[in-house]
Amino acid sequence: MAKFGILVDAQWCSGCHSCEIACQMEHGMPVGQTGIQVVKIGPWPIGDEADNNWQFSYLPIPTKQCDTCAARRGLGKVPTCVQHCQSKCIEFGPLDELNQRLDAKQKTLFVVA
């Protein structure tokens, strides 16, 4: 039986939190609970600190509440975080297929049981 996972291309996550909101709404979770959480990484200076230019990055990470939208997948749909990701940086599929697309420099593979 194939195992499935979530592949995130962190280079393209804009930090919009659409995946969080979609998950929360799909599962009827209370405010503050979700199956995926977008974390902010940074800030760190770009160039000379005197320029006051700063870089932030974002990374959507599945939480313990993530069931990869089992009910949706039973209907042939993708998880709601994948469907609603505005930057299309979240993918879902069999681990062997995701592993072929994995570029360790830019993407992170989460295996959600």
The pLDDT value recorded for residue 106 is: 62
Cβ-count burial 5-39 (b if 16+ within 10 Å, e if not): bbbbbbeebeeebbbbebbbebbeeeeeebbbbbe
The pLDDT value recorded for residue 50 is: 64
Contacts of 59 (CB under 8 A, 6+ apart): 8, 10, 13, 38, 39, 41, 108
Calculate mean pLDDT across residues 79-99.
Answer: 93
Return the DSSP state at 99. H
The pLDDT value recorded for residue 16 is: 96
Looking at the predicted structure, is the pLDDT value of residue 113 above 70?
Answer: no
Pick the residue with more confidence: 111 or 113?
Answer: 111
pLDDT band at 94 (very low <50, low <70, confident <90, very high): very high
* Per-residue model confidence as pLDDT tens digits over 37-82: 999 988 888 877 667 788 888 999 999 999 999 999 999 999 999 9
pTM: 0.83
- Are the C-beta atoms of 86 and 70 separated by less than 8 Å? no
